[in-house]
Amino acid sequence: MPSPEKHRVAVIGGGAAGLMAAIAAARAGADVFLLEKTPRVGRKLLLTGNGRCNLTHSDCSPRRYHGRRPEFFRTVLTSFPAERTLSFFKELGLLTKTEEDGRVFPLCDQASTVLDLLRDELSRLNVPIHAETEIRNIRNRFDLTCADNRRFKADRVILSTGGLAHPETGSDGKGLLLAEQCGHHLVPVFPVLVPVRVRSPFLKSLKGTRTDCDIELTVDGKPVQRESGEIIFNSDNLSGIPLFQLSRKVTECLQAHRRPSLRIDLLPGINAKVLAEELEGRFRTRPQEPPERALLGLLNKRFIPVLLKTAGFKTESPSGSTVSRSRVSSLVELIKGWSWEITGTLGWAEAQATAGGVDTLEVDPLTMESRLTPGLFFAGEILDVDGDCGGFNLHWAWATGATAGRAAAGTED
């Protein structure tokens, strides 16, 4: 019996999802080639986890993902849990470690090692990589035309061109237009996992300050999401993982014309009553000293003049023997619930991920194949699914890449 023809599979986009898709398709026996717009594949991968690559999370539960159709990502994640990412990389020779909060990193803490291993595997599988090859048109199942008019032919195509976050890495959103050319609808996109813009006269004096705190997003006065961890004060925004985690809801609220704000608890480990007693004691025992002195050692000293001024203290003169109870309680309220007006988020250049993308109603979650154009598959951030900060987005890239690659080769398992 003649052996069945191998499928000729084109993978468009050499990010995490495309690299995984090309490996999976080649392992499953397809004749695969990879087309990448920039001079090198995996540029964004090198930036991940601050160069350490937070490649998955020990608990990739669907509640850590967002998008219009939760049933879609639930199906994908059920068939591709974190263990499958770990076993894939273990097989490539990568040892990993799981941190206390569940984030998984390479033991060597190097994103570049992850990329080296993926590239080595592609080379072992004889998958050609055509760099500096930007696909502009997909027609007739499937003629692919490049920006410089070169042409490629394939009988299956995996579209893994990413979203719009950090466009200098190559993912500038134009790949979404290719999906539209093939008849797909797009859910409107916006940047997520991004610093939050705030308005405050004090930001300039706090620029560069970092502190561990609890932070709460309130909408029309009601708390809607709470996060903890280190935040950084910048000239017109607050950044750090807690802000990244809140950023999606911030944009959703602003889009719905609601008024989000932040409340920061600068001393989450001390309750308000204990803090009030501590402050009263400090002012009582140091009446000759300026009030700043009483706060020294309690919190980051760059906050002290700002907090005292906001709470109505005169910072130059001595505290005096009687700092009123009401003044102390305003100071406590401020330290435990400092309110910040939100004006928006930063943009694509600072974002780690894209909300929105190809509408997943039009994609089969078991194969990643288009329900509109047979032979067209999707993988990664191009889809209308985004994860929290913590390894969830790379996990999505691996999971969808592996699923699309296997299915495009024609061997679903």
Q: Which residues bind ligand FAD (CB under 6 A)?
A: 12-18, 35-38, 43-45, 47-49, 53-54, 134-135, 160-162, 165-166, 169-171, 174-175, 352-353, 380-381, 391-394, 397
Q: How far is residue 377 from each of residues 20, 60, 168, 348, 409, measured CA to CA in Å?
A: 13, 23, 25, 25, 11
Radius of gyration of the chain, Cα coordinates, nearest whole angstrom: 26
Q: Which is nearer to ligand FAD, 323 or 382 (CB)?
A: 382
If the CB atoms of residues 240 and 260 are measured against ligand FAD, the closer one turns out to be 240
When the beta carbons of 138 and 267 are compared against ligand FAD, the nearer one is 138
If the CB atoms of residues 195 and 291 are measured against ligand FAD, the closer one turns out to be 195
> Among residues 147 and 296, whose Cβ is nearest to ligand FAD?
147
Q: How far is the CB of 24 from ligand FAD (least distance, A)?
A: 13
**Minimum separation from the CB atom of position 105 to ligand FAD (A):** 8
Shortest Å, Cβ 383 to ligand FAD: 8
CB of 258 to ligand FAD, least distance (A): 27
- Minimum distance, C-beta of residue 385 to ligand FAD, in the bound complex (Å): 10
Report in angstroms how near the CB of residue 353 gets to ligand FAD at its nearest. Answer: 5
| Nearest to ligand FAD of 337, 375 (CB atom) | 375
